[in-house]
Structure 1
Amino acid sequence: MAKRQSLIRHCSLFSLDPVPTIYSRLRYFHVQQDIHDIDNKLIATLCNSNRATQPNGGESPTPPPAAARHTLRSLQPESQEMITSLDLSSFFHARAFSGRAFPSPFSSCTVCCSTGNSSTVVVPSAVSGLESPERKAVRLGLPSKGRMADETLNLLKNCQLSVRQLNPRQYIADIPQLSNLEVWFQRPKDIVRKIKSGDLDLGIVGYDIVCECGEGSNDLIVVHEALGFGACRLSIAIPQYGIFEKIHSLYELSKMPQWTKERPLRVESGFSYLGQKFFKERGFEHVKFQRSEGALEAYPAMGTTDAILDLVSSGTTLRENNLKEIEGGVVLESQAVLVASRRSLNMRKGALEITHEMLERLEAHLRAIGVVTVVANMRGNSAEEVAERVLSQPSLSGLQGPTISPVFCKRDGKVVVDFFAIVICVPQKELYKSVQQLRSVGGSGVLVSDLTYIFEEETPRWRRLLSELGL
């Protein structure tokens, strides 16, 4: 806090401009009252044109006097609400302008204090758009880095919802196909927390993160629970050696006499909420959670913990560190999910419509994965005759049945029908068998193409969401 206070040099309005960023990290303090009620000295600092002429003829803001700096200190969390920090260093390519007066009156302002340099900017919320109840855009949070981030972007791209990021260092982007939508890149845990706080409306994260950081919040709704990537399980692992050598189940672990009030079972994990809830429900009386992030497999060998609770995919890392999973020790199965704020879906204009389109595209694309369209021509006297031949083969029934249509050609000046076109959808793994069966009943000129979407009459998850919202 003292460091942040010491960095305050000047206050000015900024406008978005593609020039080098002036911050490395911003902290936001939202003042929930009219600025004129805060402090007259602060008003003078914020609204007056404090200018100093430079030798080159330019202008720069004059640092406020000590009294004014003290009034800025009065805006610290003891006297107002502190908003969780956002990593927006690359989004705000901003230039500070001195001598710009704020619109007056306005209902709130945001004090932005950089922890990376001495610049401080105070911006009306109506201008900054941050934490403003009047914000218009719907916000979607996506993972900012790692495999989860890459797979999320790939999925959206395959759904023809490509994320447009003008600069790879920026933390904000958009999806041109979805108007009025902002994409914010954040850590998965921060995505869930910001959905809970109302800073984000939607997010794509692992189900494990939703359960851990959501902490049973009724505001969080899992809109799509199976996006098809990031599959893992949150599981308990113990050493393969020592006192655990003959322990193979959670029940056996709970009955070990070593665990007492003075010497509880020590569990290393980054999932303290889920872990404590799980052990309590399983009847463990003496458990101590030690919170850690990353490389948990090393702690049992160091002697600092007895067990770990971590995400497991293949289990290879556990085995290579002489650890083992135990029967009954899986807390939950997880994969990437689309999660939303109940409050936003009910109250944020456009949020429900954007969610509907995203859900439709996601479901239709995921349904189309592994399915191809096969088109072939076949001689026949009628569509019914061709249909009988096609349906005599077990792999040619398609989704509901083959589509058969006449192929018109001109012979001797007359339009005739000698061929019929057959269109069917088949699983990709059965493609070759389907082609062979088509040939066996007279099919030729076989064309194969991938599918992007398979839209059903109505999206089941959409009906479920409307029911959840009481709509």
Structure 2
Amino acid sequence: MLRIAVQAKGRLFEETMELLAESDIKLRPAKRTLLVQSSNFPIEVLFLRDDDIPQSVATGVADLGIVGENEYAEKKEDAEIIKRLGFSKCRLSLAMPKDIEYPGVEWFDGRKIATSYPVILEDFLSARGVKAEIHVITGSVEVAPGIGLADAIFDIVSSGSTLVSNRLKEVEVVMKSEALLIGNKGMTDEKKEILNELLFRMNAVEAAEDKKYVLMNAPKDKVEEIISVLPGMKSPTIMPLAQEGWCSVHTVLDEKRFWEIIGKLKALGAEGILVLPIEKMIL
């Protein structure tokens, strides 16, 4: 049985549970339960505070953890990064009152900075020879300059709307963060086998992200031109149709270029274009 620690609430919790569901790991919903076992996969989920996850994995309380890179970097626990998951993206940035001109990072020298991430901030400032007074705050860091508690803040930024509402501006991006799958370095071979199966499922989900399966009817004399505009994974599948001079073309398209490519296909005579979502894709 593999134990994975995940955040108990918030956006990272929601996206983690969605990933597990898409990986066909069924969990019984249970309110106020710290440990939930899957009904169809040898894994159990331990719900913790996000800042407790790195230590729980490093000490073996959990075998795996899904945690923000910001928390992993802040705690500096002896756990290894197994996979970058690509969701819950944000950045850790320095911000200051928007009405003050920013000359560069030296502005922070001798200033008071409020943050929930003192380790990352201290490393960043020390590397640049800046000595600031760091005030550790949990909670609403962004209000600190407005109430006179600090001159600036160092905090998570997603859209930046919270900074704007507190009359702050982002001036230095210190690190970018995303969800990580981290692991205990002392896992048994049996647990590593379960982990490999879990990674196989997660990779299949990731490979299908933003992909569409496209089927179309095409005139045979235009097939070579149609293939030339298809950026599929490999060569598309071509099958003859009952109607003389026509064939069926099957391929996979990236959603980002979908409409651009569909327009080109129609111009080349493709008809009856059918677009289907892809749930999993095994590479």
> Common fold, TM-score beyond 0.5?
yes
Matches within 5 A, 1:137-286: 137-162=1-26, 164-179=27-42, 181-213=43-75, 215=76, 217=77, 219-225=78-84, 227-241=85-99, 245-254=100-109, 259=110, 265-285=111-131
Q: Deviations over 1:369-423 (max 9, x none)?
A: 111011123454xxxx66424225x2x242222111345x6xxxxxx98653211
3-state SS of 1:366 partner: helix
Q: Deviations over 1:154-206 (max 9, x none)?
A: 222233334x1342222222334422x11111111111110111101101110
Distance between the aligned counterparts of 2:161 and 2:265, measured in 1? 44
Deviation at 1:442, TM superposition (A): 4.4
Amino acid at match of 1:223: I
3-state SS of 1:375 partner: strand
Distance between the aligned counterparts of 1:363 and 1:271, measured in 2? 31
* 1:444 maps to which of 259, 267, 271: 271
Distance 1:429 1:233, change over 3 A: closer
3-state SS of 1:343 partner: coil
Matches within 5 A, 1:96-111: none
* 1:423 maps to which of 250, 255, 259: 250
Distance between the aligned counterparts of 1:437 and 1:280, measured in 2? 54
Matches within 5 A, 1:273-422: 273-285=119-131, 287-326=132-171, 329-344=172-187, 348-378=188-218, 380=220, 387-392=223-228, 394=229, 396-407=230-241, 419-422=246-249
Distance between the aligned counterparts of 1:436 and 1:336, measured in 2? 36
Amino acid at match of 2:226: V
Amino acid at match of 1:184: L
Deviation at 1:147, TM superposition (A): 1.6
Distance between the aligned counterparts of 2:170 and 2:268, measured in 1? 53
3-state SS of 1:300 partner: coil
Q: Deviations over 1:95-116 (max 9, x none)?
A: xxxxxxxxxxxxxxxxxxxxxx
Distance between the aligned counterparts of 2:90 and 2:193, measured in 1? 31
Confirm or deny: 8 A CA contact 2:28 2:39 kept in the other structure.
Answer: no
Deviation at 1:209, TM superposition (A): 0.6
Distance 1:397 1:195, change over 3 A: closer
Q: How many residues align?
A: 283
Root-mean-square deviation (Å): 2.4
Instruction: Report the TM-score when normalising by structure 2.
Output: 0.89
3-state SS of 1:356 partner: helix
Confirm or deny: 8 A CA contact 1:387 1:402 kept in the other structure.
Answer: no
Deviation at 1:210, TM superposition (A): 0.6
Confirm or deny: 8 A CA contact 2:15 2:87 kept in the other structure.
Answer: yes
3-state SS of 2:271 partner: strand
1:103 equivalent in structure 2: none
Confirm or deny: 8 A CA contact 2:222 2:269 kept in the other structure.
Answer: no
3-state SS of 2:133 partner: strand
Distance between the aligned counterparts of 1:379 and 1:183, measured in 2? 53
Distance 1:282 1:432, change over 3 A: closer
Distance between the aligned counterparts of 1:330 and 1:299, measured in 2? 19
Amino acid at match of 1:330: V
3-state SS of 1:152 partner: helix
3-state SS of 1:205 partner: strand
1:91 equivalent in structure 2: none
Amino acid at match of 2:249: I
Distance between the aligned counterparts of 1:379 and 1:406, measured in 2? 10
Distance between the aligned counterparts of 1:272 and 1:431, measured in 2? 44
Deviation at 1:441, TM superposition (A): 4.1
Amino acid at match of 1:272: P
Distance between the aligned counterparts of 1:154 and 1:248, measured in 2? 43
Amino acid at match of 1:405: M
Amino acid at match of 1:229: F
Distance 1:399 1:360, change over 3 A: same
3-state SS of 2:145 partner: helix
Deviation at 1:433, TM superposition (A): 4.3
Distance between the aligned counterparts of 1:425 and 1:142, measured in 2? 33
| Greater relative contact order (Cα < 8 A, sep 6+) | 2
Confirm or deny: 8 A CA contact 2:58 2:185 kept in the other structure.
Answer: no
3-state SS of 1:337 partner: strand
Distance 1:274 1:435, change over 3 A: closer
From the CA coordinates, give the structure whose radius of gyration is larger: 1
Deviation at 1:440, TM superposition (A): 4.2
Identity score, percent:
29
Q: Deviations over 1:114-133 (max 9, x none)?
A: xxxxxxxxxxxxxxxxxxxx
Confirm or deny: 8 A CA contact 2:96 2:151 kept in the other structure.
Answer: yes
Distance between the aligned counterparts of 1:281 and 1:311, measured in 2? 20
Confirm or deny: 8 A CA contact 1:374 1:426 kept in the other structure.
Answer: yes
Amino acid at match of 1:403: T
